[in-house]
A = this chain, B = another copy of it.
Amino acid sequence: MNDADFLASYDPRAYPPVAVTVDIVAFTIRQGALNVLLVRRACPPSEGMWALPGGFVGQWEDLPTAAARELAEETGVATAHRRLHLEQLGTYGAPDRDPRMRVVSVAYVAFAPDLPDPVSGSDAREAAWVPMDERPAELAFDHSTIVADGLERARSKLEYTPLATKFVGEEFTIAELRAVYETVWGEPLHAGNFHRKVLSVPGFVESTNTTTERGGARGGPRAKLYRAGDARLLHPALLMPSREETVR
């Protein structure tokens, strides 16, 4: 039997029904706090509970495309938002994670600078940016786990890649970049050392030779402006003070 004959005689319906969905953990920084995008479920199961935005993957739709589409539907952000970073987080497929049927969900994390308030999606679900430390203790399905994994991924990516530049505007100051790290880790950093470190990593940022129009809101000189460099990985990495407790 050759490939063509085989395909002609092949019956996809012979396999048990499994649904594939995408869920998106979208992070942004608003008012100095890390926010995650949540939606309130409008239909069973878990009607009324907060959950991650997401939905079924179209039959001929690529996985990242599905994630971008779902995110766009929930937030109203143009699908091709220039500064949006989307990457696969992992796949969650415990047999009992959804009571309806076997659902395997491919989770994505998205990072973006301060996004507009989400518009309620076409399916009339309420959507909102929620500060990470005010998020509901319980989310629908296994979404609490996914959000926790997403935060871990964000931290890891911030240390080893120029991801932080995705959270700030096109042009930014070193202090704005530092604020991203301080926000995600929730602790202050030594301004001088951070400055030295960022400028010493090749390709992380490049100077625009301009400065801000005004000094900081509470005083201080005008800061130099930078834009993202061309590095894909940070060498050496920007390691954060590692709390020993989290290690073992």
Q: Could you tell me the distance in whole angstroms from the C-beta of A188 to the nearest C-beta in chain B?
A: 21
- Chain B CB within 10 Å, residue with most, of A59, A91, A102: A91
- A17-B13 contact in complex given A95-B60, A106-B93, A231-B247, C-beta closer than 8 Å: yes
Identify A247's interface contact among B57, B100, B106, B235, CB under 8 A. Answer: B235
- Classify chain A's interface size: 35 or more
8 Å CB contacts to B: which residues of A132-158?
none
Name the B residues within 8 Å of A19 (CB-CB). Answer: 12, 15, 18
Q: In the complex this chain forms, how many copies of it are found? A: 2
Check if A3 sits within 8 Å of B248, measured CB to CB. Answer: no
The CA of A17 and the CA of B102, in the complex, are separated in Å by: 12
| Contact digits for A2-25, partner B, Cβ 8 Å, 1 yes 0 no | 110111001011011111100000
Interface majority SS (helix, strand, loop, mixed), chain A: loop
Identify A3's interface contact among B62, B90, B99, B232, CB under 8 A. Answer: B99
Chain B: CB-nearest residue to A63 = B93
Q: A47 on the interface (CB 8 Å rule)?
A: yes
Name the B residues within 8 Å of A209 (CB-CB). Answer: none
Identify A59's interface contact among B45, B62, B102, B232, CB under 8 A. Answer: B102
Identify A2's interface contact among B3, B18, B44, B203, CB under 8 A. Answer: B44
Q: A88 on the interface (CB 8 Å rule)?
A: yes
The CA of A94 and the CA of B63, in the complex, are separated in Å by: 7
Chain A interface (Cβ within 8 Å of chain B)?
Answer: 1-3, 5-7, 10, 12-13, 15-20, 43-47, 56-57, 59-63, 88, 90-91, 93-95, 99-102, 104, 106, 203, 230-233, 235, 242, 244, 247-248
Q: A7-B99, A60-B95, A232-B247 are in contact. List 15 more A-B contacts (CB 8 A).
A: A3-B44, A6-B43, A6-B44, A10-B101, A12-B19, A12-B100, A15-B17, A16-B59, A18-B57, A18-B59, A57-B104, A104-B106, A232-B248, A233-B247, A235-B242
